[in-house]
Amino acid sequence: MQYKIEGTPLPVVICTLEPGEQMITERGSMSWMSPNMKMETTSNGGVGKALGRMFAGEALFQNRYTAEGGSGMIAFASSFPGSIVALDITPDKPVIIQKRAFLASEPGVELSVQFQKKVAAGFFGGEGFIMQKLSGRGKAFVEIDGAAIEYQLAAGEKMIVDTGYLAMMDATCDMSVETVSGAKNIFFGGEGLFNTVITGPGKIVLQTMPISGLANAVRPAGK
């Protein structure tokens, strides 16, 4: 499978598949394709995994596209102004992503639910108690709100992240929350009560414009 990512601020990933190669995506993510791409709707792992994807903010069923009778082309466009990031998923390096970030992948990649181990991180960390986990083997494409900024954290190295700005992280990273110190900072700082703390080792990807941030920015204009 070959691919190219084009366009800003609403990017699209255009994949070229050899005969018999497949792509998996959520319902409604396909934007355009060549006529020889055959679609099949599947639970992709049974009812249990389908329900897990639903809890993680994705569709109950997935669509599998197969190139038949020759090479095929299929495109998946972003649903929000931002970036599309290509990931190489391997069995020894699963990746944790925010809910609804999954766009498409090769069939060897498994999308499952990821519960935050620490309840406080789940409720106050900005991404909710449930995130998504990409495991297995293959290429995957995820959506990032705004621009994608990467950091490589060493073991024990920390990054403090405002609510909603964490897009994804290696599964080796740990997420926790800390309370903003000082009553003046809490009531007048405008940053809320909690910050998300990510501890390495591993790579993290931050996003410059979470959907929640954009909604808060445009809401006053609609009044």
Q: Over the chain, what is the mean pLDDT?
A: 82
| pLDDT tier, 114 (very low <50, low <70, confident <90, very high otherwise) | confident
Respond yes or no on whether the N-terminal peptide bond of residue 35 is cis (omega within 30° of 0). Answer: no
Region of 162 please: left (phi>0), alpha (psi -120 to 50) or beta: beta
Rg of the chain over all Cα atoms, to the nearest angstrom: 19
Interval 31-49: pLDDT, tens: 999 999 999 988 755 555 5
Interval 188-220: pLDDT, tens: 444 556 778 999 999 999 999 886 555 444 445
Lowest mean pLDDT among 10-14, 53-57, 163-167: 53-57
% of the chain at pLDDT higher than 90: 56
Let me know: does 204 contact 159? Beta carbons within 8 Å: yes
User: What pLDDT score was predicted for residue 65?
Assistant: 97
- For residue 158, the cross-strand partners are 199
DSSP state letters, 92-150: TB-EEE-TT-EEEE-TTEEEEEEE-SSHHHHHHSSS-SEEEEEEESEEEEEEEES-EEE
User: What pLDDT score was predicted for residue 179?
Assistant: 74
pLDDT over threshold 50, residue 130: yes
CATH superfamily of 2-215: Mitochondrial biogenesis AIM24 (3.60.160.10)
Q: What is the DSSP letter of 181?
A: P
| pLDDT tier, 146 (very low <50, low <70, confident <90, very high otherwise) | very high
Let me know: does 145 contact 209? Beta carbons within 8 Å: yes
pLDDT over threshold 90, residue 54: no
**Domain-wise residue ranges, the chain:** 2-215
